[in-house]
Amino acid sequence: MSVNYLDVGLKEQEYLAIMDILGREPNMQELRILGVMWSEHCSYKSTRPLLSMFPNSGGAVVQGPGENAGIVDIGGGWGAAFKVESHNHPSAVSPYQGAATGVGGIIRDILAMGARPVASLDGLCLGDESLQQSRSLADGIVKGIAGYGNAVGVPTVGGKTLYDGCYNGNPLVNAMCLGVVRLDSIVSSKTARPGHLAILVGSRTGRDGIAGAAFASSGLADDTRASRPQVQIGDPFVEKLLIECCLEIHSKGLMVAMQDMGAAGITSSSSEIAAKSGTGIVINSELVPLRENDMEPWEIALSESQERMLLVAEQENLPEISKIAAKWELECAAIGKVTDDGQFVISDKGKIVVSLPAGMVGGSCPVISWTSREPSGRKATSQKGTTFSLSPHMIEKHLVTLLSNPSLSDKSGIFHQYDYMVQTGTVVPPGSAASIIRVRENGKLLGLAMEVDPWKCEIDPFTGSAEVFLKALRSLWVAGAEHLGMTNCLNFPSPEDPGNFWVISRCVEGLAAVARDLVCPVVSGNVSLYNESGDAKILPSPLVGVTGTFRDIAKPLSESFSCENETVFLAGFSKGTLNGSHFARAMAVEQNHREFPYLPEKEKIFMHSAIETVRKGLATSGRTVAGGGLLVSLAKMCVTSGIGISIDEELPLDDLAVFLFGETGPRAIYTVTENLEKDFASIWSGIPLIKLGQTGGKTFTIKGLLEIPVNEIARAWRR
């Protein structure tokens, strides 16, 4: 049976490049391997130049992009390894297993750095929940995350869930994981040397997900059932054993390098180690423990059977490694050797089946320069989308509409299915904008936040993406944390359309601008393109995950009102805008492609005041003004505390809709006890500060405009 380059997903120019590098035609097995390794999912060929725009070093960065995960210094000699990865296409086809293996895969990336995984977060962009198909996908995805995460013993401490019709049939599942590692014992993939053994630890290899990476790089076929054999099946129990086994092997100093077997399994892990270490590697396919008979060498090489790690170790350590693997009841086999000839070789019972330069397989494949062209008609020529004539007596109805919108409503039905407490480190559980964990190893607190906002990115990709990143950072700052680094998942449709590629480029530029201006390096990330099926494509959905530490702060600021009779302040620069807001969408306000304000200097000032507020203990609660705008943010503070608020400040009636429902920009709500008002105000001097009113009672009241019992807000929000 003959296979040509088109069959394996390669383009003509790529095939020509292959022949150029090899000086010959690749054989069938080599072609299949290159088809997978040069797919978008594995090679990032469409976006590598864009990604190089990200600042990725300096500050607390210990390890930038280029390894399995990025690492930032969190103090006390410890580092946090973190990364987010997508598993979108598999989740569309088989939601439970797609989501489950997404969680499993990212955990292994963290483990590959020698870190113990201690927290997971999940970003879910789901379809219109009035559709049966969307509900079914959403349900399967949540159960998959819970089923895997709970059993593997890593707490799911937060995430972000939103809904839009553009995700019908194309859900996004972005799984983030953070782990903790001693700075002096980080595992690299660059330290393999000729003579070292390549050892496979974990599950037996079967036919799961063969060519899954290529599957992730193409749009979904109309009949997703046809895609089923390519979805991998996960076993969280084995993964738990794998985590303990690998950490034990590492703690005894028995390994030289480690790599997760993710997309393209043995091939990607072994060729990457060789390429990064500047060596070659030979894999003996007949030595791989198999689950199925008669697997061909290329199938063994590309299998995506889950829960397997590749370890590189000195020959003399194999017996002890085997003993530890046996204790944990895992397969362990020396499947190859590191060589000095720079070649990636697969040998089947002594016969060489594949021989390619390691750099060609594991390193860079030629970049594709897609055309970028700004779609026509995007200039903001009108005032559309920036004003709304709000009838005061409708305010309550609008508030209820927004609170019951699935993207804004209570997510506890989801996160109570996740064990968010295992490892007894969760200080602020899911439900707040920033999740906070206590790292047992150094006693320190870490804040984690995740954001995505396709609607703002659709309006203006540069400033919209900047706003997504800033929203996540503001959540950290208001809690009292200083940011350390960022990870991101770039979820987009096909890059082959020039308009799409322009959007992708502008989004990356926006994220890069914030990373540079606010000094938050990008330490890791993932790209997922071709999120579309038939005529439907997703809105641009870059997703951001950030982490930060609390310096000299023992108690992060709560998001929920703590007491009655405290003063409520609105602090920050920004009136907000209706463009790109939940309100505008709910009211079907026509919007334009006007840029959002991007004011990095003002963000820095806001950041300093927010963190100082917590450091000096000047507020009793604080929450950023985010989705839904001021009114929704205040309402959430009432519902989660059970305490009402009365606003007696004169509100700007001429632009009331913008004031109450506008989004974007650095703003936060604070509650302050009377005796600390002066000190609080001085921390915020030079920054617009409005005293809104008082907490207390059982209703949310705005003099003359709104009076709604907290119970009713709760009813709407909890649906």
Partner 1 sequence: MKTAVIVFPGSNCDNDVVHAVSMVFGPVVSKVWHEDESLPEGTGLVVLPGGFSYGDYLRCGAMAAKSPIIAAVKEHARKGLPILGICNGFQVLTETGLLTGALLANRSLSFICDFCHIRVERNDTPFTSRYATGQVLRIPIAHYEGLFYLPQTELEALESEGRVVFRYCSPEGDTDERFSPNGSLNNIAGVINTEGNVLGMMPHPERASEDLLGSTDGADLFRSVSDWLEGGIQA
Query: Which residues bind to partner 1, rule: CB under 8 A?
Result: 146, 150-153, 235-238, 240-241, 327-329, 415-427, 438, 440
The nearer residue to partner 1, 124 or 584, going by C-beta atoms, is 124
The nearer residue to partner 1, 238 or 668, going by C-beta atoms, is 238
State the DSSP code for 191: -
How many Cα atoms within 13 Å fall on the side-chain side of residue 452? 30
The nearer residue to partner 1, 156 or 269, going by C-beta atoms, is 156
Beta-strand runs (E) in 400-481: 426-428, 435-438, 445-452
CB of 536 to partner 1, least distance (A): 31
State the DSSP code for 418: S
State the DSSP code for 45: T
CB of 428 to partner 1, least distance (A): 10
What are the b/e assignments for 369-398, b being 16+ CB within 10 Å?
A: ebebeeeeeeebeeeebbebebeeeebbeb
What residues contact 367, with CB distance under 8 A and at least 6 apart? Answer: 45, 46, 48, 49
| Residue type for position 232 | Q
The nearer residue to partner 1, 420 or 501, going by C-beta atoms, is 420
Catalytic-role residue among 87, 398, 483, 582: 87
Three-class DSSP category at 167:
helix
Task: Report yes or no: 584 and 410 within 8 Å, Cβ to Cβ.
Answer: no
The nearer residue to partner 1, 235 or 299, going by C-beta atoms, is 235
The nearer residue to partner 1, 146 or 275, going by C-beta atoms, is 146
- CA distance readout (Å), 666 to 431, 446, 629, 700: 20, 22, 12, 24
Q: What backbone phi and psi angles, to 5 degrees, belong to 46?
A: -80, -20
The nearer residue to partner 1, 445 or 473, going by C-beta atoms, is 445
∠ CA 189-492-548, nearest 5°, is 55
What residues contact 244, with CB distance under 8 A and at least 6 apart? Answer: 328
Residue 62's H or E segment, with its range, is strand 61-63
The nearer residue to partner 1, 153 or 498, going by C-beta atoms, is 153
Residues 276, 67: Cα–Cα separation, whole Å: 9
**What tokens appear for 228 in the block?**
């089923």
State the burial class of residue 222 (Cβ atoms within 10 Å of its Cβ: 0-12, 13-18, 19+). Answer: exposed
The Cβ of residue 554 has, within 10 Å, a number of other Cβ atoms equal to 8
The nearer residue to partner 1, 150 or 355, going by C-beta atoms, is 150
CB of 146 to partner 1, least distance (A): 5
State how beta strands 351-357 and 426-428 pair. Answer: unpaired
CB of 182 to partner 1, least distance (A): 16
CB of 121 to partner 1, least distance (A): 15
The nearer residue to partner 1, 327 or 678, going by C-beta atoms, is 327
CB of 637 to partner 1, least distance (A): 19
What residues contact 682, with CB distance under 8 A and at least 6 apart? Answer: none
**How many Å is the Cα radius of gyration of the chain?**
26
CB of 344 to partner 1, least distance (A): 35
Catalytic-role residue among 41, 89, 398, 483: 41
Q: Is the dihedral of CA 156, 176, 231, 496 positive or negative?
A: positive
87 noted as active-site residue:
yes
3-state helix vs strand vs coil in the chain, percent to 5: 35, 25, 40
416 noted as active-site residue:
no
CB of 717 to partner 1, least distance (A): 18
What residues contact 24, with CB distance under 8 A and at least 6 apart? Answer: none
Residue 176's H or E segment, with its range, is strand 172-182
Helix extents (H) in 543-655: 582-586, 600-615, 630-641
Give the closest residue to 668 by CA, choosing from 514, 515, 477.
477
The nearer residue to partner 1, 244 or 296, going by C-beta atoms, is 244
Residue 160's H or E segment, with its range, is strand 156-163
∠ CA 347-351-356, nearest 5°, is 50
CB of 562 to partner 1, least distance (A): 15
State the burial class of residue 17 (Cβ atoms within 10 Å of its Cβ: 0-12, 13-18, 19+). Answer: middle
CB of 418 to partner 1, least distance (A): 6
CB of 157 to partner 1, least distance (A): 11
What residues contact 676, with CB distance under 8 A and at least 6 apart? Answer: 618, 619
Q: Is the dihedral of CA 73, 75, 81, 84 positive or negative?
A: negative
CB of 566 to partner 1, least distance (A): 22
Catalytic site positions: 41, 87
